[in-house]
Amino acid sequence: MHSILHSRTVATAVSCMALALSSSIGLTSAEELCSIPPYSYTRAKSDHPELTSAIETLENYAIASWFTDRQGTDERSTMLSNMLNQCSEETRLSIVVYGIPNKDCAAGLSSEGSVKSTDDYKAFLQELTGAIGDRKVLYVVEPDALGLLAEEGGCGASAGYLDNLKVAVEALSSNPNAELYIDIGYWMLAYPDSASKVATAMKEIVTSGRVKGVTINTSNYRSTDECTTYCTNFQTAMGKSDMSCVVDTSRNYNGSPTSDWCNVQTAGIGKPPTSETGVSNIDYFMWIKPPGESDGECPTGGTSAGSFYLEGFTLLWDQSYFVSEQGMPKIGDGPSTPAPTKYEPNSSADDENQSAPDQTTSMPTHAPTTDNSNWNQEQTVGTVAPADTTSTEAPSTPETVAPATTAPVMETTTAPSYSTTLLRLRRPQQRRLDRRKAQRSLTLFLHVVPARQKSGCARCNQDICQSKYCIR
């Protein structure tokens, strides 16, 4: 009898130890993302010391690094070397791959780069995979390419995107520790018909290697709840739930009541990069666009695309997760409490959002925007690829603008015409001059721009709409 009781006691103890061990493993399974801070932050801290505490808080988290053919080989090599040296083996590197041949086939504004053919692309990818080896890494694969391939009438098919995305997937998934997510514009997942086209293309792409899912909201402002719905639509279209999503939360804390993409003034920095999202079909929150880098010279105000925008950063911080939920002071309110170094999710699912890229600059991937007093019709715009990270000056002009694709009309409201933060600092005469300069800047930038097929001429006011372009 004694031996039986002893055996049961031992068995119970072993079971408890096994349960404790499994619980411990579960608690320590979260993935920590890692990259290197964007150059624009180093310069901003020097130029604006009052931002130092806020920026250093953000530098505690991974802001995805862009590996693009618009950078030189030496520059890419330096970036990868710095990342590998600074990120521990236990972390997962976060990298955006942007170099597909004929990229930005719709607008052609970011088509420059060293990759001109599939052979060039294979060498470009080999440069990346050779440096990364078998390190743990999360790849965001080719912003905009899947959308341009899947959209009705899109240029991706004739540009060879299907075959080259398969080349990328085969090369990148050769690393058993790599996780691949192909980028897709959120609006392509808003409706069943467009989501089914995405699924058709994706099912062909995944025959070449391992793909975990898609990234949503790159450089945009959609709420995490909204993006979760889009991810569900994607899974439904795929007919299975084993593919999931990544959400760019760098600026989505407050979501957006409109479909504006350009320096949205109600935006706030969202929840930090983490694998502990609290949402079953969202694997990671990421910062793909660095909070504070401008979308461009927008009607609401802004500096050149990719450059650090002081007023924009101030708004993003003051309306952020860190101020609202972590109790950190607004900029100018006094000394900060110690910056959190790890995102701790709430017990309930989160409604907020995030996003950001490393030493890259990126405008929202061609999302629609609202009518307002300066742009009379809905707009589409693309992604600005990384700025020159070896430069001693912050970027002053848009590096690249990615393709414009057809996007569904979202609920809109009239956005403010100009940044009140910016304009209240100037005298009335200067304000009028600023407006004229901003309008001229937009006119030059939009001389020939992609148009949405179903909604007339985007951004071109009364100009003639011809095919997918507005001609002045």
pLDDT tens digits along 270-287: 999 999 999 999 999 999
Neighbours of 223 (CB within 10 A): 21
- Which amino acid is located at 298 in the chain? C
278: left (phi over 0), alpha (psi -120 to 50) or beta: left
pLDDT 10s digits, 379-418: 344 555 544 444 434 433 334 333 333 344 444 333 333 3
pLDDT 10s digits, 54-74: 999 999 999 999 999 989 999
Does the pLDDT value for residue 138 go beyond 80? yes
Give the Cα separation of 307 and 41 in Å (integer): 10
∠254-255-260 over CA atoms, to 5°?
120
Alpha helical stretches, state H, 292-380: 310-318, 321-324
pLDDT 10s digits, 247-263: 999 999 999 878 888 99
**Is the pLDDT higher at 372 or at 176?**
176
Confidence of residue 329 (pLDDT cuts 50, 70, 90): very high
Name the percent of the chain lying above pLDDT 90.
Answer: 55
Distances (CA, A) of 106 to 81, 112, 303: 33, 13, 25
- Containing 421, the helix (H) or strand (E) segment is helix 420-423
Does the pLDDT value for residue 364 go beyond 70? no
- pLDDT score of 168: 99
- Containing 442, the helix (H) or strand (E) segment is helix 428-445
Give the Cα separation of 325 and 323 in Å (integer): 6
Homologous superfamily (CATH) for 26-358: 1, 4-beta cellobiohydrolase (3.20.20.40)
Does the pLDDT value for residue 447 go beyond 70? no
pLDDT 10s digits, 90-100: 999 999 999 99
Here the tokens at position 125 are 């990818």
Does the pLDDT value for residue 167 go beyond 90? yes
Domain locations in the chain as residue ranges: 26-358, 420-471
Arithmetic mean of pLDDT over the chain: 75
- pLDDT score of 231: 97
